[in-house]
Amino acid sequence: MAPLLGRILDDEIDPSIVISHRIQISEGPDAYKKFNESKEDYRKVVIRMH
């Protein structure tokens, strides 16, 4: 895991290409439902706390 993190921090790899959705914490239950039902092509979700 450390080598991967190093490459991300050195801007050699852009992890954002795997992120399909960015949501607020309040949207979590609805997003989980959509992910669980395979709706809207949810792959990797980033949940913002604020």
pLDDT at 18: 86
Which residue pairs from 14-20 have beta carbons closer than 8 angstroms and sit at least 24 positions apart in sequence?
Answer: 18/43, 18/44, 19/43, 19/44, 19/45, 19/46, 20/44, 20/45
Domain boundaries defined on the chain: 15-50
Asked if 45 and 31 count as a contact pair (C-beta separation under 8 A), the reply is yes
Indicate the pTM of the whole model. Answer: 0.58
| Residue ranges of the chain whose pLDDT lies below 50 | none
| Nearest Cα to Cα of residue 32 among 10, 18, 47, 17 | 47
Asked if 21 and 42 count as a contact pair (C-beta separation under 8 A), the reply is yes
